[in-house]
Every structure is written in structure tokens, then in C-alpha cells.
Amino acid sequence: MAKRTRIGPHVTTGEPGVYISHPGVDVDNVAVPYMLDSRYKNLDLFTYGAVGMNRMNAVSETVYYATVTIPDLGYQPQFYANMVYASNNVGGIPVNSAYWPASGVTFYVNQSNNAYTPLYTGVWMPNRTTICAQSNIDQNQVHGNMVLYYVVFKNPESA
């Protein structure tokens, strides 16, 4: 029967950690990659949250925007964010429909002819401590609520 777990020094490097081998493979067999090897850091959650987005009605569009301030980690962290339309609306935008992007990119330009889809939408970090989001919808009759959801991770190589 194979030993599958080692908590302590690595069998060849002596580096302390937690090591778990795949089923049927002995943890001392370094020819096969471990199922878990604590020497390799994963993304650690730094912070997360949700914030209601402000709404401004312009001449031909409705603009949703939000800014979130996070503590400075000393480097640009990795983040994921999404804007969700969270209201019933006569304009036809589906409730709880998610908008772009799924992660940190600049403005996305939607080529749709649908008057209720976003024209310019994006979530970005202009610096190490600020998450910005904006969605311009081509219809000034939109009166619902939009929420920005965000998750920020520590960079394992910089942490």
C-alpha cells in the first residue's frame, strides 16, 4: 500500500510543506507529479464584494458607473469582476443578466443593434488600489439597478 501523504520535508529537496500523491503512487516517488504540492502557491483571496453602481441618464444613453477602493498590496493584483443588471425594467434588459467583462479588460464595444444592450462596458484597475466599472446603455429610459461584483486575489509571486 502506497504512502500518499507527507507533512514535513520534501523527500529530495528537504523543503518543508504538505505533499499528497495520486492514488496508487507513493509520496516518495518524485517521478510522478504530486496531486498537492504546497511549494506551488495558488491564488489567495484578498478581498471580494458587491457595490451598487451609480446611474446617470444622458441624452441618448444611460451610464452606470462605480469605483471601489482596496488596500494597496504593493503591486497590481489579479482581479475578476462582473456587472449584473439586478432590476425588473420596462426596457427589456433581463433581470440578473451578466454583462462584460469576466476579468480585467478595458472597454468592450458591443456591436449589437439591440437598443437595450451595453454600448461601452468595462471593468478595469487604473492603479493598484482602484477598481472602476462603467456600462453605457443606448437608451435613456433604463431605470433599473446594476451591481458590480468583484474578487481580488493576492499575486502568489509577489505576496
Exposure string over 64-86, b if 16+ CB within 10 A, otherwise e: bebebebeebeeebbbebbbbbb
pLDDT reading at 10 higher than 80: yes
For the ranges 7-11, 92-96, 115-119, which has the lowest average pLDDT? 92-96
Residue 129 has pLDDT above 90, yes or no: yes
In order of 92, 93, 103, 109, the CA distances from 113 in angstroms are 14, 14, 24, 12
- For 111, the grid coordinates are 456591436
pLDDT over 70 percentage in the chain? 70
pLDDT digits 0-9 by tens, 76-88: 888 888 887 766 5
Binned at pLDDT 50, 70 and 90, residue 100 comes out as very low
Closest Cα to residue 53, out of 153, 142, 152? 142
pTM for the model stands at 0.60
- Give per-residue pLDDT as tens, 101-111: 434 333 333 33
Which of residues 65 and 1 earns the better pLDDT score?
A: 65
Q: What pLDDT band is residue 71 in, cutting at 50, 70 and 90?
A: very high
